[in-house]
Amino acid sequence: MKTRALLSILLAAAALVGGCKNTFHGAGEDIERGGEKIQEKTR
């Protein structure tokens, strides 16, 4: 019983971490695009 609970917790944690990676990557791309727009306006 304990191993099933532990396995469930580990799988949930892995899914959460996997989802965060994509979210942070997408946010980084958005911030980069915003910085590029600011650079274009200052030229």
> Does some domain include residue 6?
no
Helices (H) and strands (E) in the chain, counts: 1, 0
Confidence (pTM): 0.49
pLDDT in tens, 1-43: 788 888 888 888 887 777 676 777 778 888 899 999 888 888 8
**Would you say residue 37 lies in a domain?**
yes
Residue 1 lies in a domain: no
Residue 28 lies in a domain: yes
Residue 2: φ, ψ to 5°: -65, -35
Q: What is the pLDDT of residue 21?
A: 67
In the numeric block, which tokens belong to residue 37?
């727009």
Domain that holds residue 32: 19-43
Q: What was the pLDDT predicted at 41?
A: 84
The number of distinct structural domains making up the chain is: 1
